[in-house]
Structure 1
Amino acid sequence: MKRLAILALMIAIISLAMSYTSSNQIKELQSEQKQISDDLLKLKQEIAKTWQSAEQSGSAKPVWPKYYDATGVLKSMSENRIVVDEDEIPGFMKAMIMSYEVEKPEQLKGLKEGDKVKFKLKETENDLAVLEIQKQ
């Protein structure tokens, strides 16, 4: 009986210690969460100030359209759209497979799947399109 009482007391002490530790960990996590929230708010405020300053100076207005020279392998074509396994465009886009609308679909005549092509991309505020394309 004495052993049972000692065992029960030990279980109670361990349980109390665990709840105390969990309580402290929760308090620490809540404190860290508050600090992160405060830091995030400060960061948002700084970004807003930077954008506001840039808008006032006029430097935040992007110039459209932008043009990029690209190369790749033609994967598929439709009347006015291509899918191309595109090489990297340094400073703009990593190598990847992309689908583009072709502004002048008549340029697709004579091209076929598997052709190595070079093309000029036109980037607008909302879109990327092929302005010129030819077999390489």
Structure 2
Amino acid sequence: MGPPLRKEPFTSGGWLKRLMEGTMETISSEHCCAVDVRDVAIAHVLAVKKAEAANRRFILCHSSPSFQEYAAPVAEKYRPLGWPITENLAPAKPDEYVSLFNNAASRELGVVYTDWNKTMVDMADKMVELGTVQKP
């Protein structure tokens, strides 16, 4: 997740495009671990600078929000501007909740994760700026 550099399609961008252009009928309640692309870049730089990180792998996962939580800050900003973001939310399935979190990147590398609201709004703003997503 996070602001793209190019207009070309990408997986998480496709999801956000469907959300913003109103072609997503229902916003899923499923959870998905993701991380802001800018945090991934910072983690790579920090890992290169720390000798103790050599030959190690770090799982980067800020948290495991639901797709509804990913959509909320975008809807809050763009619905009042006339974007057709669905208000139809799928019911929660608590028995299917999966959470993944590993704080080694924060603890050992010093990664400070970007707030999800900022990640999603920045991603939406950049996709609008690039013309990847267009108001119907």
Mark yes or no: TM-score above 0.5.
no
| Greater share of residues in strand | 1
| Greater share of residues in helix | 2
Q: Which has the larger radius of gyration?
A: 1
Q: Using CA pairs under 8 Å that are at least 6 residues apart, name the structure with larger relative contact order, 1 or 2.
A: 2
TM-score bin (small chain): under 0.3
